[in-house]
Amino acid sequence: MIVLGMESSAHTFGVGIVDNGKVLANEKAMYRIGTAGMIPGEVARFHAENAAEVLGMALEKAGISNNEIEGIGYTMGPGLGPCLEVAQLSAKTVAKKLGVPIVPVNHCAAHAEIARHFGRLADPIMLYVSGGNSQILVLEERPYLHYVVLGETFDIGVGNMLDSFARKLKLEPAWGSSIEKHSQGGRYIELPYTVKGMDFSFTGLATRATELIGEERLSDLCFSIQETAFSALCEATERAMLLKNKREIGICGGVAQNRKLREMLEEVGREHDAKFGFAPDEFNADNGGMVAYLAERMIGSGIKSRLEDCGIRQKYRVDTARLG
């Protein structure tokens, strides 16, 4: 089945096309965040202006025409309201025009499922790390296929924490990558480390690291904030894996592009003979391909939605999303 997916929950407007689990196109336009962060209305305007072009690019890349599309998926949430509206409206318009089924997709579940696909993981403990989210997920089949949250951040997502810190250092906030770049050669300085069981917290860490700006070397700060935050994520993931008796670890979401975090998690896996897997970077950043991928499976398993029930949910919890 050829399914088109649309994503616009944050800074990226993405369109993906899949056919029978194979991603034919994954095109996107990304709003440049700069130093001001995201103003939802402005980002939404950016998405609206780029929607048609990205859609056209995806169709061209996949080499298909409009009327070959057999189903549509779009990100229902979680995300920024005005941004989410753009993919929702575009998807509904296309679905109505073509008369094909449409399903609303949970953004976090889409990240996790595409990582499971590319990472060739059957039943992993999945660490989902992005700007706004940091969660440890595991699949559960009853009463229907869905992800359960085993642990998560008490306050902010690890990506936003690193980005706000980068901004305070006057570095370009690029999804944690500027912190990673400047952490080369740093020494470890003591910072607050908070893990409670499988949950974790990052605000205390961010506050203390900010206080130390000017007192400590830049590379030491970057190295230590990253090391502390990632260690917390690894510890919680490790605990979840042992508790649930799993033999696989996956990582997904924007921060999954971070090499250092991937190396650390791979080490956790090695210690327990667990397989480690993840998706290529273009699928870790927000994208439409993952939405199309999950939507195809949902439609295939018989999940149906009426056009009038397709809205947005800014706080759509992953554990309430039915996947099959």
Question: Are 90 and 51 spatial neighbours (Cβ–Cβ below 8 Å)?
Answer: yes
Q: In the window 258-297, what residues touch another protein (CB under 8 A)?
A: 264-265, 267-268, 271
Where does 73-202 have alpha helices with state H? 81-98, 107-118, 158-168, 177-182
Q: In the window 127-146, what residues touch another protein (CB under 8 A)?
A: 140, 142-143, 146
- How many residues bind to another protein according to rule CB under 8 A? 30
Query: 236: which residues sit within 8 A by CB, 6+ positions away?
Result: 136, 151, 195, 197, 198, 199, 200
Smallest distance from the beta carbon of 247 to another protein, in angstroms? 15
Structure token digits, residue 153: 């951040």
Query: 107: which residues sit within 8 A by CB, 6+ positions away?
Result: 7, 9, 75, 76, 77, 78, 79, 286, 291, 316
Which positions from 49 to 88 touch another protein by CB under 8 A, shown as an x/- string?
----------------------------------------
Q: What is the DSSP letter of 187?
A: P
The span of 77-85, 96-104, 233-241, 280-288 binding another protein (CB under 8 A) equals 233-241
Question: Are 54 and 27 spatial neighbours (Cβ–Cβ below 8 Å)?
Answer: yes
The span of 22-30, 37-45, 102-110, 237-245 binding another protein (CB under 8 A) equals 237-245
Pick from 39, 52, 122, 148: which binds another protein (CB under 8 A)? 148
Smallest distance from the beta carbon of 128 to another protein, in angstroms? 14
Pick from 81, 193, 313, 324: which binds another protein (CB under 8 A)? 193
Question: Are 252 and 124 spatial neighbours (Cβ–Cβ below 8 Å)?
Answer: no
CA distance 44 to 21: 29
Residues lying near another protein in the complex (CB under 8 A)? 140, 142-143, 146, 148-149, 152, 188, 190, 193, 196-197, 227-228, 231, 234-235, 238-239, 242-243, 264-265, 267-268, 271, 315, 317, 319-320
